Amino acid sequence: MNPTSLLFGSALLVCVVLILLIAKQVAGFTATTLHRFTWSTMKLVSQQAGTPMQRDEYGHINVLIAGYAGSNYRGGTLTDTLMLASFNPDKGTVTFLSIPRDLYVKFWRGATSRINSLYRSMYLEGDEDHELGISSLLDKVTEITWVPVHYYAMVDFDGFVEFIDEMWGVDVEVKEPLYDDQYPWENDSYTVFQVSAWPQHFDGVTALKFARSRKSTSDFSRSFRQQQIIAAVVDKLKASLSLTNLGEVKAL
């Protein structure tokens, strides 16, 4: 897979979703019209770019979202967050499946390890070859889910924080109190992160802590919190998008 085409595919998917949100907000389309508009827009943009978006046998466009720490953090290339997003153009819906980072899978040469280290292992094996790392990860996700993955998006901690702050934060209804006295901090130290079970407004840094914390809970709880953040982003976009703030859309 060509990295440029993968990047374009992810960007194109975001553009289609944003166009749909604007249309729904401004024009008040009915569900039937919105679905037809979704598919027509996607085909039009794809044709203009010269490459139709790839779909699976059910007509879905599948994207792997891989979250990693980044070069400024320890274990920077470990993909600790893995979400498979499946976009149904006919219904205008997206379904998310979180993949546990500690899931043991077979690597090359018969070795086994956690799936979160597959990208890094192949990246280093290929002398910092990103294409080898990401293609290996996409192939493995397809193998274990039976879902062909056409595109991907990789987001590091700093990018995550910047994205949330660009939206002026997000609102999340915290379902249960969270107390973590071993949240990773500067110089390999730890700090306390806690939040009450109550509707909360998170800036980028706090949203990252909420999505990243796991010592006092489990990876399943963390996956749920990460999906809450994504839902909060979608809700914020739906509520705020209009023809008067498209500059914010462009920044996002």
Q: What pLDDT score was predicted for residue 246?
A: 58
Top pLDDT among 175 and 25 is at 175
Q: What pLDDT score was predicted for residue 171?
A: 93
Top pLDDT among 14 and 176 is at 176
Q: What pLDDT score was predicted for residue 200?
A: 93
pLDDT above 70 (res 11) = no
Q: What pLDDT score was predicted for residue 15?
A: 52
Q: What pLDDT score was predicted for residue 213?
A: 86
Q: What pLDDT score was predicted for residue 62?
A: 92
Alpha helices per DSSP H over the chain: 3-27, 31-49, 118-125, 130-145, 157-166, 204-212, 219-240, 246-251
For the segment 102-159, what is each residue's pLDDT rounded down to a tens digit? 899 988 777 889 999 999 988 888 788 888 889 999 999 999 999 999 888 888 888 8
Q: What pLDDT score was predicted for residue 143?
A: 94
If phi over 0 gives left and psi between -120 and 50 gives alpha, with beta otherwise, what is residue 188?
A: left
The gap from C-alpha 212 to its chain's centroid, in whole angstroms, comes to 14
For β-strands 61-68 and 151-156, DSSP reports them as parallel
Q: How does residue 189 score in pLDDT terms, banded at 50, 70 and 90?
A: confident
Residue 79 to residue 66: CA distance in whole angstroms: 6
Q: What pLDDT score was predicted for residue 9?
A: 44
Residue 8 to residue 5: CA distance in whole angstroms: 5
For the segment 21-71, what is each residue's pLDDT rounded down to a tens digit? 444 444 444 445 445 545 555 555 555 455 677 889 999 989 898 888 877
Q: Residues with Cβ < 8 Å from 152, sequence gap 6 or more?
A: 6, 10, 63, 64, 65, 66, 134, 137, 138
The answer to whether 172 and 202 have CB atoms below 8 angstroms apart is yes
Q: How does residue 240 score in pLDDT terms, banded at 50, 70 and 90?
A: low
For the segment 75-117, what is each residue's pLDDT rounded down to a tens digit? 788 888 898 988 887 887 788 888 988 899 988 777 889 999 9
